[in-house]
């Protein structure tokens, strides 16, 4: 009988201790009187911002996945093998999917595109026809599946029970609007450029257990308009050691100066990750001469 009483008392004491630890954790972390997310072990401090990959868009609801590493509190065990470098333990990673609700109060922004023109002077509003950070009318339609975005919210993610919250601000990644490749064909005002497709960079945490994609060479159709600047910097052919180098001289070219097999950098209106049909803002062919240093 006494043995049973001891067991019951022990269970009660353990329950009281667990309750005390939970209340103490909430008080220390500003969660007193609030619900606690099932993912609390991965969200150990106030979280009002997260970065993640857009998985799905349904109306004004955007689902993004984000990865978190379990906080290591116990001593780290490092495996050491003879004549081998130390092997660190693999951190425990958990993928959490959130549903963001985009409302009329949600601010969506995107960094402006920068084109390094040599002759044309433009306002710093970015590429013509493309929304920029200074444009206040970005909507959920500008968000694309596969993008890595950063989201701010007034809700503390540690208190979410269903991983759904209202987004106050969404920062979209800048578009990738530069290609570097070889001109393979020119027809009228259209050229074909063969280049390796750029890859959108993922945040470090998301890239932990994801193999980097292999770059693929593609052919891009580039439309040249009357607003397209074709230019490059030309360097002097002689440089004398000990003397300051001669500044490069901007050279303005025309479509007739572009030839097949030339290498060129093309700056476009569109995001080159999303389409292979593009409009050129500027084309910079490789200069035929480069600085030659005199002995």
Q: Residue written as tokens 């978190």?
A: 68
Task: State pLDDT tens for residues 81-101.
Answer: 666 666 566 667 778 888 999
- CA triplet 158, 162, 165: central angle to 5 degrees? 70
Exposed e or buried b for every residue in 105-119, given b needs 16+ CB within 10 A?
Answer: ebebbbebbebeebe
Task: Tell me the average pLDDT of the chain.
Answer: 77
Q: Is 256 helix (H, G, I), strand (E, B) or coil?
A: helix
Domain count, the chain: 2
Lowest mean pLDDT among 150-154, 183-187, 196-200, 217-221: 196-200
Question: Where is the domain boundary, 127, 151, 171?
Answer: 171
Task: State pLDDT tens for residues 28-68.
Answer: 444 455 555 555 545 555 578 888 899 999 999 999 998 87
| Structural domain includes residue 121 | yes
In the structure encoding, which two tokens stand for residue 174, read together?
Answer: 């800048």
User: Which domain, by its residues, includes 154?
Assistant: 49-171
Q: Check whether residue 109 and residue 198 sit in a common domain.
A: no
Q: Check whether residue 146 and residue 62 sit in a common domain.
A: yes
Beta-strand pair 49-58/169-171: unpaired
Exposed e or buried b for every residue in 53-87, given b needs 16+ CB within 10 A?
Answer: bbeebeeeebbbebbbeeeeeeeeeeeeeeeeeee
CA distance 277 to 23: 59
Q: Check whether residue 191 and residue 138 sit in a common domain.
A: no
pLDDT at 78 over 60: no
Question: Where is the domain boundary, 171, 198, 220?
Answer: 171
Q: Check whether residue 107 and residue 216 sit in a common domain.
A: no
Q: Check whether residue 58 and residue 161 sit in a common domain.
A: yes
Task: State pLDDT tens for residues 111-133.
Answer: 888 888 999 887 654 445 544 44
Task: State pLDDT tens for residues 225-281.
Answer: 999 999 999 887 666 677 777 788 999 999 999 999 999 999 999 999 889 999 999
CA distance 177 to 267: 6
**Mean pLDDT across 180-188:** 94
Question: Where is the domain boundary, 127, 145, 171?
Answer: 171
160 CB burial (10 A radius; 0-12, 13-18, 19+): buried
């Amino acid at each position: 009988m006494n043995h049973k009483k001891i067991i019951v008392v022990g269970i009660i004491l353990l329950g009281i201790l667990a309750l005390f630890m939970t209340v103490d954790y909430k008080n220390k972390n500003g969660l007193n009187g609030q619900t606690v997310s099932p993912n609390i072990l991965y969200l150990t401090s106030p979280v009002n911002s997260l970065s993640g990959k857009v998985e799905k868009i349904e109306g004004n609801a955007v689902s993004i996945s984000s990865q978190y590493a379990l906080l290591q509190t116990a001593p780290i065990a490092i495996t050491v093998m003879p004549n081998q470098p130390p092997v660190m333990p693999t951190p425990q990673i958990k993928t959490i999917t959130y549903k963001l609700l985009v409302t009329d109060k949600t601010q969506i922004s995107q960094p402006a595109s920068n084109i390094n023109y040599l002759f044309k002077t433009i306002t710093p509003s970015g590429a013509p026809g493309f929304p920029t950070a200074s444009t206040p009318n970005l909507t959920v339609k500008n968000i694309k599946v596969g993008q890595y975005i950063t989201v701010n919210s007034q809700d503390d993610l540690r208190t979410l029970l269903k991983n759904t919250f209202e987004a106050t601000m969404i920062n979209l990644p800048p578009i990738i609007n530069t290609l570097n490749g070889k001109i393979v064909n020119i027809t009228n005002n259209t050229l074909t450029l063969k280049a390796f497709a750029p890859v959108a960079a993922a945040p470090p945490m998301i890239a932990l257990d994801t193999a980097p994609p292999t770059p693929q060479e593609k052919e891009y159709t580039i439309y040249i308009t009357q607003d397209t600047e074709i230019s490059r910097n030309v360097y002097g052919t002689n440089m004398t050691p000990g003397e300051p180098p001669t500044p490069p001289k901007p050279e303005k070219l025309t479509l007739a100066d572009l030839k097949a097999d030339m290498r060129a950098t093309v700056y476009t209106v569109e995001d080159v990750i999303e389409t292979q049909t593009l409009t050129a803002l500027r084309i910079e062919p490789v200069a035929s001469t480069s600085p030659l240093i005199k002995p």
